Structure 1
Amino acid sequence: MKVIDILNNSKKTLFSFELLPPLKGHNIETIFSTIDKLKPYNPAYINITYHREEVVYTTNSNGVKIPVKLRRRPGTVGLSAAIQQKYGIDVVPHIICGGFDAHETEDALIDLDFLGINNILAVRGDADKITGRFEAKPGGHSYAIDLVKQVANLNKGIYLEKLMEEPKPTNFCIGVAGYPEKHPESPNCDSDIHYLKKKVEAGASYIVTQMFFDNRHYFRFVKRCREAGIKVPIIPGLKPISVKHHLNILPKVFDVHIPQELVLEVEKCKTNAEVTQLGVEWAIAQSKELVKANVPALHFYTMGKADNIAQIAKNVF
Structure 2
Amino acid sequence: MPDSPRPAPLPYRQVAVSDTLRFNTPGRVPFSVEFMPPRDDEAELRLFTAAEAFHDLGVSFVSVTYGAGGSTRERTLRVARRLATKPLTTLVHTTLVEHTVPELIHMVRAYASLGLTNLLALRGDPPGDPTGQWVQTPGGLRYASELIELVTAMPEGRFFDIGIASFPEGHYRAKDLQQDTEITLRKLRAGAQYSITQMFFDVDHYLRLRDRLAAADPTEGAKPIIPGLMPITSLRSVRKQMELAGAQLPADIERELLSAAGGDERANRDRIREVGIGITTRMAERLIAEGAPDLHFMTMNNVRATQEVLHNLGMAPAWGEEYGHDMVR
TM-score range, shorter chain: 0.7 to 0.9
Which of 17, 24, 46 is equivalent to 1:3? 17
- Mapped pair 1:149 → 2:116: no
Asked if the contact 1:34/1:306 (under 8 Å) is kept, the reply is: yes
Stretch deviating more after TM superposition (31-40 or 76-85): 31-40
Cα distance between partner residues in 2 of 1:18 and 1:137? 27
SS in 1 for 2:163: strand
Asked if the contact 2:68/2:127 (under 8 Å) is kept, the reply is: no
Which of 187, 191, 194 is equivalent to 2:175? 187
Stretch deviating more after TM superposition (303-312 or 207-216): 303-312
Asked if the contact 1:23/1:73 (under 8 Å) is kept, the reply is: no
Alpha carbons of structure 1 residues 273 and 39: separation in structure 2 relative to 1, 3 Å: farther
Report 1:120-131 matches (<5 A): 120-130=119-129
Asked if the contact 1:100/1:137 (under 8 Å) is kept, the reply is: yes
Cα distance between partner residues in 1 of 2:48 and 2:195? 26
2:47 equivalent in structure 1: 31
Which of 281, 292, 295 is equivalent to 2:292? 295
Cα distance between partner residues in 2 of 1:240 and 1:261? 16
SS in 2 for 1:176: strand
Using the TM superposition, give the Cα deviation of residue 9 of structure 1 relative to its aligned residue in structure 2, in angstroms.
3.7
Alpha carbons of structure 1 residues 279 and 73: separation in structure 2 relative to 1, 3 Å: farther
Asked if the contact 1:18/1:302 (under 8 Å) is kept, the reply is: yes
1:260 equivalent in structure 2: 251
Cα distance between partner residues in 1 of 2:40 and 2:128? 19
Asked if the contact 1:244/1:266 (under 8 Å) is kept, the reply is: yes
Which of 138, 162, 178 is equivalent to 2:166? 178
Alignment-mate amino acid for residue 39 of structure 1: H
1:99 equivalent in structure 2: 98
- Mapped pair 1:116 → 2:115: yes
SS in 2 for 1:80: helix
1:305 equivalent in structure 2: 302
Using the TM superposition, give the Cα deviation of residue 307 of structure 1 relative to its aligned residue in structure 2, in angstroms.
1.1
Deviations 1:69-115 (A, max 9, x none): xx367411111110111x21110000101121121111111111111
Stretch deviating more after TM superposition (7-16 or 119-128): 7-16
Cα distance between partner residues in 1 of 2:68 and 2:127? 9
Asked if the contact 2:55/2:88 (under 8 Å) is kept, the reply is: no
Alpha carbons of structure 1 residues 298 and 169: separation in structure 2 relative to 1, 3 Å: closer
Using the TM superposition, give the Cα deviation of residue 27 of structure 1 relative to its aligned residue in structure 2, in angstroms.
5.2
Deviations 1:272-304 (A, max 9, x none): 332222221111111111112221100011122
Cα distance between partner residues in 1 of 2:127 and 2:95? 13
Cα distance between partner residues in 2 of 1:217 and 1:20? 26
Asked if the contact 1:22/1:73 (under 8 Å) is kept, the reply is: no
| Unmatched segments (≥5 aa) in structure 1 | 55-70, 158-167
1:277 equivalent in structure 2: 274
Tell me which protein shows more strand as a share of its residues. Answer: 1
Deviations 1:97-151 (A, max 9, x none): 1121121111111111111122110011112435811112221112111111111
Asked if the contact 2:226/2:294 (under 8 Å) is kept, the reply is: yes
- Mapped pair 1:250 → 2:247: no
Which of 188, 191, 200 is equivalent to 1:200? 188
Using the TM superposition, give the Cα deviation of residue 25 of structure 1 relative to its aligned residue in structure 2, in angstroms.
6.0
| Unmatched segments (≥5 aa) in structure 2 | 1-14, 316-329
Deviations 1:42-73 (A, max 9, x none): 1110000011349xxxxxxxxxxxxxxxx367
Cα distance between partner residues in 1 of 2:158 and 2:216? 30
Cα distance between partner residues in 1 of 2:232 and 2:76? 25
Q: TM-score, normalized by length of structure 1?
A: 0.85
Asked if the contact 2:66/2:72 (under 8 Å) is kept, the reply is: no
Asked if the contact 1:45/1:89 (under 8 Å) is kept, the reply is: yes
Stretch deviating more after TM superposition (268-277 or 135-144): 268-277
Stretch deviating more after TM superposition (108-117 or 17-26): 17-26
Asked if the contact 1:13/1:298 (under 8 Å) is kept, the reply is: yes
- Mapped pair 1:44 → 2:60: yes
1:17 equivalent in structure 2: 33
1:239 equivalent in structure 2: 230
Stretch deviating more after TM superposition (260-269 or 143-152): 260-269
Percent sequence identity over aligned pairs: 26
Using the TM superposition, give the Cα deviation of residue 41 of structure 1 relative to its aligned residue in structure 2, in angstroms.
2.3
Cα distance between partner residues in 2 of 1:277 and 1:40? 24
- Mapped pair 1:139 → 2:139: yes
Cα distance between partner residues in 2 of 1:22 and 1:93? 15
